[in-house]
């Protein structure tokens, strides 16, 4: 079963959709360029189709570690006033003021 279609093209519409999902603002020139570059890249991935992986477990990480936990204890580390110095936005009541979310 092929990974995707035999003649694979990532259309400009698909690029626009993915860019929006990933919150990336792209102009028309970029959308064209990426549509062509991403098509080439994703087409290359078809090579994995040559392998039969029917009964193979997927690997998420290579350490074999499971359930690494620690005690849930609060510790003093960095004060919130210090952390807030990193924001480029305005601060109000120890909170970061962002643009409107609800229309």
Partner 1 sequence: MDVLNLTISSARDALKAKKISSKELTKLYFERINKIDSKLNSYVLKCEKEALIEAENADKKIAKGEGSALTGIPCALKDNFNTKGIRTTCCSKILENFTPMYDATSVSKLKNENVVILGKTNMDEFACGGSTEYSCFGPTKNPWDFTRVAGGTSGGSAASVASDLCLFALGTDTGGSIRNPAAFCGCVGLKVTYGRVSRSGVTAMSSSWDTIGSFAKTVEDAAIVLQAIAGRDKRDSTTPDVKVPDYLKNIDKGIKGLKIGIPKEYFGEGVDTGVRDAVMNAVKEYEKAGAKISEVSLSLTKYAVAVYYISMPAELSANLARFDSIRFGRKPTNEGKDLMDYYLNSRGEGFGDEIKRRIMIGAYVLSAGYYDAYYLKAQRVRTLIIKEFENVFKNVDVLIAPVTPFPAFKIGEKCDNPLAMYTADILTIPVNAAGLPALALPCGFSKSNLPIGMQIIGPQFSEELLFQAGHFYQKITDFHKKKPEL
Nearer to partner 1, 64 or 93 (CB): 64
| Interface with partner 1, residue 78, by CB under 8 A | yes
Beta strands in the chain (DSSP E): 91-92, 95-96
Q: Is 9 in the site for partner 1 (CB under 8 A)?
A: no
51 binds partner 1 (CB under 8 A): yes
Shortest gap between Cβ of 34 and partner 1 (angstroms)? 6
CB count in 10 Å sphere of residue 16: 15
The yes or no reply on residue 90 touching partner 1 (CB under 8 A) is no
Burial 56-73 (b: 16+ CB within 10 A, else e): eeeeeeeeeeeeeeeeee
Please state, in angstroms and as integers, the Cα–Cα distance from residue 22 to each residue in 9, 14, 18, 36, 80, following that order: 20, 12, 6, 18, 28
Which CB sits closer to partner 1, 92 or 100? 100
Contacts to partner 1 by CB under 8 A: 3-4, 10, 14-15, 18-26, 30, 34, 37-38, 40-42, 44-45, 47-48, 50-51, 53, 56-65, 68, 70, 77-78, 82-83, 86-89, 96, 98-101, 103
């Amino acid at each position: 079963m092929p990974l995707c279609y035999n003649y694979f093209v990532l259309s400009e519409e698909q690029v626009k959709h993915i860019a929006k999902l990933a919150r990336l603002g792209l102009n028309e020139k970029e959308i064209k360029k990426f549509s062509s570059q991403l098509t080439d890249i994703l087409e290359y991935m078809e090579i994995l189709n040559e392998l039969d992986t029917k009964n193979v477990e997927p690997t998420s990480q290579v350490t074999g570690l499971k359930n690494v936990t620690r005690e849930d204890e609060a510790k003093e580390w960095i004060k919130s006033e210090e952390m807030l110095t990193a924001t480029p936005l305005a601060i109000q009541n120890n909170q970061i003021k962002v643009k409107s979310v609800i229309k």
